[in-house]
Amino acid sequence: MENQEKAVPKASRRKFLSQALTAAGSVVVAPTLIESATAIGAEALPPPVPVAPSVAGEISVTLHINGAKKTLSIEPRVTLLDTLRERLELTGSKKGCDHGQCGACTVLIDGQRAYSCLCLAVMQEGKEIVTIEGLAKGEVLHPVQEAFIHQDGFQCGYCTPGQICASVALLDEIKRGCASAITPDLSSPPQLSNLSEAEIKERLSGNLCRCSAYNGIVAAVQQAAGHTPPSAAALVLGTATKEGA
């Protein structure tokens, strides 16, 4: 029996070129179709939600400032002063020396005065922080703020926020019966009714005023304490008398 082999058709030059061009066209058109399909699918999807880039070394902290909770990510080395000014836009607290020597950055932490330039922000979680922005109740100023205005307890105003916060703390310390370095009898601390000028000056000695508006500052504390401070003319006259003597 003879082996019958199937005849293999011969490929013509025309057919070969036709198949080659078809394959090349598919290669060119396929990416275009894929891109079109991707674009249509992207239009149907909602826009991506932007995610804030995380910075290495930052941790989440929640601070209670002026009656509101503020949660933010900061580095552990950031001070409370920089956090207030740079991250929370509470610029009332001023950066003077940045070494805890001038008092311009004074704020209240749990009712006690503190230099915010020396406090790490991450260590203030769970504490009540009050800045100069949080003293007033809406449009009603704090009595110490009103006294500073009435007694001209400022000139350039740069140190004034710290001076006011320190003065508020001073009056609270007197109410709590706290003594100072010059209190003569520790068993009988001064009261608001007999708060002396010397006590006020000693208790505010950590807050510097480069404009030397100290007379007005002391008078403002006296007014807030319920006293009738001497007039500015009397203070000037008394200073001149002492210098003449």
162 shares a domain with 95: no
d(CA 167, CA 218): 9
pLDDT value of residue 51: 47
123 shares a domain with 216: no
173 shares a domain with 110: no
What does each of the 245 residues of the chain score in pLDDT, given as a tens digit? 555 555 555 556 666 656 655 655 554 545 555 566 565 555 556 666 554 555 678 999 999 999 999 999 999 999 999 999 999 999 999 999 999 999 999 999 999 999 999 999 999 999 999 999 999 999 999 999 999 999 999 999 999 999 999 999 999 999 999 999 999 999 999 999 999 999 999 999 999 999 999 999 999 999 999 999 887 555 554 555 555 65
152 shares a domain with 126: no
pLDDT value of residue 13: 61
pLDDT value of residue 229: 86
Is this structure's pTM higher than 0.75?
no
pLDDT value of residue 230: 82
pLDDT value of residue 143: 97
233 shares a domain with 187: yes
49 within domain boundaries: no
39 within domain boundaries: no
Q: In which domain, by residue range, is 104 found?
A: 54-134
105 shares a domain with 162: no
174 within domain boundaries: yes
The enclosing domain of 161 has a CATH number of 1.10.150.120
- How far CA 244 is from CA of 119, 201, 236, 239, 240, in Å, comes to 45, 23, 12, 9, 6
150 shares a domain with 164: yes
196 shares a domain with 105: no
pLDDT value of residue 144: 98
Domain count, the chain: 2
d(CA 221, CA 167): 7
Closest CA to 225 of 189, 176, 192, 177: 192
Residue 167: CB atoms within 10 A of its CB come to 29
